Amino acid sequence: MVFNERSNRKNDNIKRVVAIIRPQKLNDVKEALAEIGCDGMNVNEVKGRGRQLGIKERYRGSSYCVDLLPKTRIEIIVNEKDLDKIIKTIVDSAKTNEIGDGKIFVSSVEEVIRVRTGETGETAI
């Protein structure tokens, strides 16, 4: 199917996976994803905080709170059939079993369009 005009249908079988992980785990996650055949991703350096509300530190006798910690955000668009394998791979390779390991968010993607060819849907992934 080649893109001619915008479709109003929703592709329930295309998902967006957004993983927020520790920056030092990025290479482990990338390598693990490549091993299962998942090469395409977007990566951003971000800052954020979770339930712990940052970390308290001392410097020269004074206490201060670093409330936004450096994190890495990975975004992957996948077919639903590959979703569980990708989530398990991210969890297994990013986990340190400590507070601040991150989160994974999954949402539906309404449409995907490959700019170069005009392909849409699953063929554009």
**Considering the domain boundaries, does residue 117 fall inside one?**
yes
Domain contains 15: yes
Q: Tell me the residue length of the chain.
A: 125
Domain for residue 6, yes or no?
A: no
CA–CA dist 109, 115 (Å, integer): 16
pLDDT at 100: 86
Residue 3 lies in a domain: no
Q: How far apart are the first and last CA of the chain?
A: 13
In a domain, 64, yes or no: yes
Q: Pick from 25, 23, 15: which is nearest to 109 by CA? A: 15
Contacts of 49 (CB under 8 A, 6+ apart): 67, 68, 69
User: What global pTM score does this model have?
Assistant: 0.81
CA distance 1 to 99: 46
Q: What's the domain range around 77?
A: 11-124
Residue 92 lies in a domain: yes
CATH of the domain at 83: 3.30.70.120
Overall number of domains in the chain: 1
Per-residue model confidence (pLDDT) at position 39: 87
pLDDT by position in tens, the chain (length 125): 454 455 555 566 999 999 999 999 999 999 999 999 998 999 999 998 777 666 666 667 776 666 788 999 999 999 999 999 999 999 999 999 998 899 999 999 999 999 999 999 888 88
- Give, as one character, the DSSP assignment of residue 5: S
**What pLDDT shows up at residue 34?**
97
CA dihedral 79, 84, 89, 90 (to 10 degrees): 80
Tell me whether residue 89 is in a domain: yes
Mapped onto helix, strand or coil, the DSSP state of residue 11 is strand
Question: Residue 5 domain-assigned?
Answer: no
